[in-house]
Amino acid sequence: MKGKIFDTHAHYDDRRFDRDRKEVLEMIGREGVGLVTNIGSSMEANRAALELAEEYDFIYAAIGVHPSDTAELTEADMDWLEQNASWEKVVAIGEIGLDYHYDEPEKDWQKKWFRRQLELAAKVKLPVCIHSREAAQDTLEIMKEMHAGDIGGVIHCFSYGWDMARTYLDMGFYLGIGGVVTFKNGKKLKEVVEKAPIEQLVMETDAPYLTPEPDRGKRNDSHYLWAVAEEIGRLKGMDREEVARITWENGKRMYGIA
Protein backbone atom coordinates (compact mmCIF):
# COMPACT_ATOMS: atom_id res chain seq x y z
CA MET A 1 0.00 0.00 0.00
CA LYS A 2 1.38 3.40 -0.94
CA GLY A 3 1.75 6.12 1.64
CA LYS A 4 0.60 9.70 1.27
CA ILE A 5 2.34 12.25 -0.91
CA PHE A 6 2.16 16.06 -0.89
CA ASP A 7 2.55 17.93 -4.16
CA THR A 8 3.54 21.36 -2.86
CA HIS A 9 3.49 23.10 -6.26
CA ALA A 10 1.13 22.36 -9.15
CA HIS A 11 -0.90 24.30 -11.70
CA TYR A 12 -4.13 22.37 -12.17
CA ASP A 13 -5.77 25.55 -13.44
CA ASP A 14 -3.57 25.23 -16.55
CA ARG A 15 -5.49 24.87 -19.83
CA ARG A 16 -3.76 21.54 -20.50
CA PHE A 17 -6.09 20.07 -17.86
CA ASP A 18 -9.26 21.62 -19.29
CA ARG A 19 -10.45 18.44 -21.01
CA ASP A 20 -10.05 16.04 -18.04
CA ARG A 21 -9.28 18.01 -14.86
CA LYS A 22 -11.87 16.21 -12.70
CA GLU A 23 -10.68 12.77 -13.83
CA VAL A 24 -7.02 13.64 -13.17
CA LEU A 25 -7.75 14.96 -9.69
CA GLU A 26 -9.70 11.79 -8.86
CA MET A 27 -6.91 9.59 -10.26
CA ILE A 28 -4.12 11.22 -8.24
CA GLY A 29 -6.13 10.63 -5.06
CA ARG A 30 -6.28 6.91 -5.86
CA GLU A 31 -2.51 6.98 -6.41
CA GLY A 32 -1.78 8.20 -2.88
CA VAL A 33 -1.65 11.97 -3.42
CA GLY A 34 -3.21 13.37 -0.25
CA LEU A 35 -2.45 17.09 -0.53
CA VAL A 36 -1.82 19.55 -3.37
CA THR A 37 -1.05 23.26 -3.33
CA ASN A 38 -2.26 24.89 -6.52
CA ILE A 39 0.00 27.85 -7.19
CA GLY A 40 -1.15 31.10 -8.75
CA SER A 41 0.95 32.73 -11.46
CA SER A 42 -1.29 35.48 -12.83
CA MET A 43 -4.41 37.25 -11.59
CA GLU A 44 -6.55 34.91 -13.69
CA ALA A 45 -4.70 31.86 -12.35
CA ASN A 46 -5.09 33.14 -8.79
CA ARG A 47 -8.87 33.21 -9.15
CA ALA A 48 -8.84 29.70 -10.58
CA ALA A 49 -6.62 28.50 -7.72
CA LEU A 50 -9.16 29.78 -5.19
CA GLU A 51 -11.97 28.02 -7.05
CA LEU A 52 -10.10 24.69 -7.03
CA ALA A 53 -9.32 25.02 -3.31
CA GLU A 54 -12.97 25.70 -2.65
CA GLU A 55 -14.11 22.70 -4.66
CA TYR A 56 -11.61 20.10 -3.39
CA ASP A 57 -10.82 19.43 0.27
CA PHE A 58 -7.27 18.22 -0.45
CA ILE A 59 -6.29 21.26 -2.56
CA TYR A 60 -4.88 24.43 -1.02
CA ALA A 61 -3.99 27.63 -2.87
CA ALA A 62 -1.09 30.04 -3.15
CA ILE A 63 -1.75 33.42 -4.73
CA GLY A 64 0.78 35.72 -6.33
CA VAL A 65 2.06 36.90 -9.70
CA HIS A 66 4.91 35.19 -11.55
CA PRO A 67 7.63 37.61 -12.74
CA SER A 68 6.77 36.94 -16.39
CA ASP A 69 3.19 38.09 -15.70
CA THR A 70 3.99 41.34 -13.89
CA ALA A 71 3.86 43.63 -16.94
CA GLU A 72 0.37 44.94 -16.16
CA LEU A 73 0.33 44.40 -12.41
CA THR A 74 -1.25 47.21 -10.37
CA GLU A 75 -1.73 48.25 -6.76
CA ALA A 76 -5.39 47.29 -7.15
CA ASP A 77 -4.17 43.75 -7.81
CA MET A 78 -2.11 43.94 -4.62
CA ASP A 79 -5.24 44.94 -2.73
CA TRP A 80 -7.07 41.91 -4.15
CA LEU A 81 -4.21 39.61 -3.12
CA GLU A 82 -4.19 41.04 0.39
CA GLN A 83 -7.94 40.63 0.79
CA ASN A 84 -7.92 37.02 -0.42
CA ALA A 85 -4.81 36.04 1.53
CA SER A 86 -6.90 35.92 4.71
CA TRP A 87 -8.85 32.83 3.58
CA GLU A 88 -7.74 29.79 5.57
CA LYS A 89 -7.04 27.71 2.45
CA VAL A 90 -4.60 30.29 1.07
CA VAL A 91 -1.28 29.08 2.45
CA ALA A 92 1.38 31.14 0.61
CA ILE A 93 2.14 34.13 -1.58
CA GLY A 94 3.48 32.83 -4.87
CA GLU A 95 4.81 32.18 -7.18
CA ILE A 96 6.85 35.36 -7.12
CA GLY A 97 10.42 36.24 -8.01
CA LEU A 98 12.63 37.00 -11.00
CA ASP A 99 12.93 35.40 -14.43
CA TYR A 100 15.64 36.71 -16.75
CA HIS A 101 15.29 34.00 -19.41
CA TYR A 102 13.40 36.44 -21.65
CA ASP A 103 13.88 40.18 -22.04
CA GLU A 104 10.36 41.13 -20.90
CA PRO A 105 9.17 42.35 -18.50
CA GLU A 106 12.32 44.39 -17.98
CA LYS A 107 14.42 43.60 -14.92
CA ASP A 108 13.72 46.71 -12.84
CA TRP A 109 9.97 46.18 -13.26
CA GLN A 110 10.26 42.56 -12.13
CA LYS A 111 12.33 43.66 -9.12
CA LYS A 112 9.74 46.28 -8.15
CA TRP A 113 6.91 43.74 -7.99
CA PHE A 114 9.08 41.10 -6.36
CA ARG A 115 9.80 43.50 -3.50
CA ARG A 116 6.17 44.53 -3.34
CA GLN A 117 4.95 40.94 -3.07
CA LEU A 118 7.56 40.12 -0.41
CA GLU A 119 6.22 43.12 1.53
CA LEU A 120 2.72 41.72 1.15
CA ALA A 121 3.77 38.27 2.39
CA ALA A 122 5.34 39.81 5.49
CA LYS A 123 2.19 41.85 6.11
CA VAL A 124 -0.23 38.93 5.80
CA LYS A 125 2.19 36.55 7.56
CA LEU A 126 2.31 33.89 4.85
CA PRO A 127 5.35 32.05 3.45
CA VAL A 128 6.51 32.72 -0.10
CA CYS A 129 6.99 30.49 -3.11
CA ILE A 130 10.03 31.86 -4.97
CA HIS A 131 10.62 31.52 -8.70
CA SER A 132 14.20 32.31 -9.75
CA ARG A 133 15.44 31.59 -13.26
CA GLU A 134 18.80 32.84 -14.51
CA ALA A 135 18.61 35.50 -11.78
CA ALA A 136 20.47 33.92 -8.86
CA GLN A 137 22.31 36.95 -7.50
CA ASP A 138 19.52 39.50 -7.88
CA THR A 139 17.00 37.12 -6.29
CA LEU A 140 19.21 36.53 -3.28
CA GLU A 141 20.09 40.21 -2.84
CA ILE A 142 16.43 41.27 -2.84
CA MET A 143 15.49 38.48 -0.45
CA LYS A 144 18.20 39.55 1.98
CA GLU A 145 17.24 43.22 1.59
CA MET A 146 13.60 42.38 2.35
CA HIS A 147 14.47 40.06 5.26
CA ALA A 148 12.85 37.12 3.52
CA GLY A 149 14.36 34.77 6.09
CA ASP A 150 11.80 36.15 8.54
CA ILE A 151 9.02 35.30 6.05
CA GLY A 152 10.11 31.78 5.10
CA GLY A 153 8.91 29.54 2.32
CA VAL A 154 10.31 27.56 -0.58
CA ILE A 155 12.68 28.07 -3.48
CA HIS A 156 10.53 26.46 -6.15
CA CYS A 157 12.12 24.17 -8.74
CA PHE A 158 15.55 24.77 -7.23
CA SER A 159 18.03 25.01 -10.12
CA TYR A 160 21.26 26.46 -8.72
CA GLY A 161 24.33 24.81 -7.18
CA TRP A 162 25.18 23.71 -3.66
CA ASP A 163 26.66 27.04 -2.51
CA MET A 164 23.41 28.87 -3.30
CA ALA A 165 21.38 26.02 -1.82
CA ARG A 166 23.32 26.21 1.44
CA THR A 167 22.68 29.97 1.64
CA TYR A 168 18.91 29.47 1.31
CA LEU A 169 18.91 26.53 3.73
CA ASP A 170 20.75 28.69 6.28
CA MET A 171 18.01 31.33 5.82
CA GLY A 172 15.48 28.67 6.80
CA PHE A 173 14.02 28.08 3.34
CA TYR A 174 12.89 24.77 1.93
CA LEU A 175 14.01 23.59 -1.51
CA GLY A 176 11.35 22.41 -3.97
CA ILE A 177 12.45 19.21 -5.69
CA GLY A 178 10.65 17.89 -8.75
CA GLY A 179 11.13 15.93 -11.95
CA VAL A 180 14.48 17.52 -12.85
CA VAL A 181 16.18 15.44 -10.14
CA THR A 182 15.46 12.34 -12.28
CA PHE A 183 16.97 13.80 -15.47
CA LYS A 184 20.33 12.54 -16.69
CA ASN A 185 21.50 16.17 -16.96
CA GLY A 186 20.26 16.96 -13.44
CA LYS A 187 23.65 16.31 -11.79
CA LYS A 188 23.78 19.68 -10.03
CA LEU A 189 20.38 19.09 -8.41
CA LYS A 190 21.30 15.53 -7.47
CA GLU A 191 24.32 16.89 -5.60
CA VAL A 192 22.12 19.43 -3.77
CA VAL A 193 19.66 16.71 -2.75
CA GLU A 194 22.50 14.48 -1.51
CA LYS A 195 23.89 17.26 0.70
CA ALA A 196 20.74 19.05 1.87
CA PRO A 197 18.95 17.94 5.06
CA ILE A 198 15.85 15.94 4.17
CA GLU A 199 13.94 18.07 6.73
CA GLN A 200 14.26 21.06 4.35
CA LEU A 201 13.18 19.35 1.15
CA VAL A 202 9.64 19.32 -0.25
CA MET A 203 8.38 17.56 -3.36
CA GLU A 204 6.59 19.32 -6.20
CA THR A 205 5.58 18.65 -9.79
CA ASP A 206 5.11 22.08 -11.40
CA ALA A 207 2.37 20.17 -13.26
CA PRO A 208 1.74 20.15 -16.18
CA TYR A 209 5.49 20.77 -16.68
CA LEU A 210 8.75 18.91 -15.86
CA THR A 211 7.52 15.33 -15.85
CA PRO A 212 10.14 12.98 -14.38
CA GLU A 213 11.95 10.20 -16.20
CA PRO A 214 11.00 7.80 -17.69
CA ASP A 215 7.88 9.79 -18.69
CA ARG A 216 9.63 13.07 -19.53
CA GLY A 217 7.75 14.92 -22.26
CA LYS A 218 4.28 13.79 -21.17
CA ARG A 219 1.88 16.08 -19.31
CA ASN A 220 2.87 16.03 -15.65
CA ASP A 221 0.53 15.38 -12.72
CA SER A 222 1.00 14.67 -9.03
CA HIS A 223 1.11 10.86 -9.20
CA TYR A 224 4.46 11.11 -11.00
CA LEU A 225 5.94 12.35 -7.71
CA TRP A 226 6.50 8.72 -6.74
CA ALA A 227 9.35 8.69 -9.29
CA VAL A 228 10.79 11.80 -7.63
CA ALA A 229 10.48 10.14 -4.20
CA GLU A 230 12.28 7.10 -5.61
CA GLU A 231 15.22 9.20 -6.84
CA ILE A 232 15.46 11.27 -3.66
CA GLY A 233 15.46 7.99 -1.74
CA ARG A 234 18.25 6.60 -3.90
CA LEU A 235 20.34 9.72 -3.27
CA LYS A 236 19.62 9.77 0.47
CA GLY A 237 19.75 6.03 1.17
CA MET A 238 16.10 5.62 2.19
CA ASP A 239 12.99 4.11 0.63
CA ARG A 240 10.45 6.20 -1.21
CA GLU A 241 7.77 5.70 1.46
CA GLU A 242 10.04 7.35 4.02
CA VAL A 243 10.78 10.20 1.61
CA ALA A 244 7.04 10.68 1.05
CA ARG A 245 6.35 10.65 4.81
CA ILE A 246 9.08 13.17 5.69
CA THR A 247 8.31 15.55 2.80
CA TRP A 248 4.60 15.33 3.65
CA GLU A 249 5.35 16.64 7.14
CA ASN A 250 7.78 19.23 5.74
CA GLY A 251 5.15 20.57 3.34
CA LYS A 252 2.49 20.82 6.04
CA ARG A 253 4.90 22.61 8.35
CA MET A 254 6.07 25.00 5.62
CA TYR A 255 2.52 25.98 4.67
CA GLY A 256 1.11 25.93 8.21
CA ILE A 257 -1.43 23.19 7.43
CA ALA A 258 -2.64 21.43 10.58
Convert the pLDDT of each residue in 139-172 to its tens digit.
999 999 999 999 999 999 999 999 999 999 999 9
Rounded to an integer, what distance in angstroms lies between the CA atom of residue 5 and that of residue 227?
11
- Give me the residue spans of the domains in the chain: 5-255
Residue 135: the pLDDT is 96
Mean pLDDT across 75-88: 98
- pLDDT classification of 2: cutoffs 50, 70, 90: low
With beta carbons less than 8 A apart as the criterion, state whether 106 and 147 touch. Answer: no
pTM: 0.97
Query: What tens digit of pLDDT does each residue of 30-80 get?
Result: 999 999 999 999 999 999 999 999 999 999 999 999 999 999 999 999 999
Q: Which H helix or E strand runs over 99?
A: strand 90-99
Burial of 44 per CB tally in 10 Å (0-12, 13-18, 19+):
exposed
Q: What is the mean pLDDT of the chain?
A: 97
Q: 208-238: per-residue pLDDT in tens?
A: 999 999 999 999 999 999 999 999 999 999 9
**237/93 Cα distance (integer angstroms):** 33
Pick the CATH number of 5-255 from 3.40.50.2300, 3.20.20.140, 3.40.640.10, 1.10.390.10: 3.20.20.140
Residue 146 CB coordination number (10 Å): 19
Q: What letter represents residue 93's amino acid? A: I
* pLDDT value of position 1: 38
How open is the CA angle 233-13-129, to the nearest 5 degrees? 55
Length of the chain: 258
